[in-house]
Amino acid sequence: MRKSAVLGAVVAFLLLAAGGASATTLGIANQTPLTTQVGQLQFVGATVTFACQVQLRKQLIVGLIPVVSSLTRLGKVAAGQINCPAGAASFLNLPPQLGGTPPPGPLATSWDVSFLASDLITGELLFGILDFQVKLPNGCLYRGTVLGRLTPNGATLRFLGAQPIPLFIGSASACDPQIRVVGNLADNPPIVYTLLIGGLGV
């Protein structure tokens, strides 16, 4: 019941954030669907902050993608690694290497990368990583949707902590009730994309 309530709240938030996306077509022009993102993310709670080195491998959907619903799938995080100087940390239900175990899960939409909207002022693509799951050095497991922005040149993912992710497993006395994800990841290769709105490229 708790899992369903959490996921339902996340979807409701994302639908609100992506309200004007239905008239958009997205084109990803990368020659290969695989991209690697590397950098530092900070997991910021009310009482603790963990700075961690992160690597994500993503499998993108290339070509034109019509955005016919508020959450349109762009790809999936297929593998990931996290290293925190403060202690052991891990991504849950995500293999450290491509093709490894466990496969991304446990839900069909876990670790999906979904288009939310386009920022017509900055030219950035707004996206969410659905059912992001991380166990931090204090043993607390957080699970939810992380929101980010992809820069117009496709070279950097920016996470501004806009939507905190809630505690999923852990002691209420030892774990902050939620954390925010803040930091930048560099794309290699950059994600080359075009947002088409009303027939015009952005």
pLDDT at 18: 42
pLDDT at 14: 43
DSSP 17: H
Domain membership of residue 145 (yes or no) is yes
pLDDT at 121: 87
Q: How many domains does the chain have?
A: 1
Domain membership of residue 200 (yes or no) is no
pTM comes to: 0.85
Q: What is the mean pLDDT of each run of 10 residues along the chain (202 residues)?
A: 43 43 71 96 96 98 80 93 97 96 96 89 92 97 97 96 95 93 97 68 39
Distance CA 202, CA 16 (A): 22
pLDDT at 2: 47
Domain membership of residue 121 (yes or no) is yes
Domain membership of residue 25 (yes or no) is yes
Contacts of 193 (CB under 8 A, 6+ apart): 26, 27, 28, 29, 125, 150, 154
Of 60, 77, 64, the closest CA to residue 191 belongs to 60
Which residue reads 């446990």 in tokens? 106
CB atoms inside a 10 Å sphere around CB 100:
11
Domain membership of residue 71 (yes or no) is yes
Tell me which residue range forms the domain holding 86.
2-195
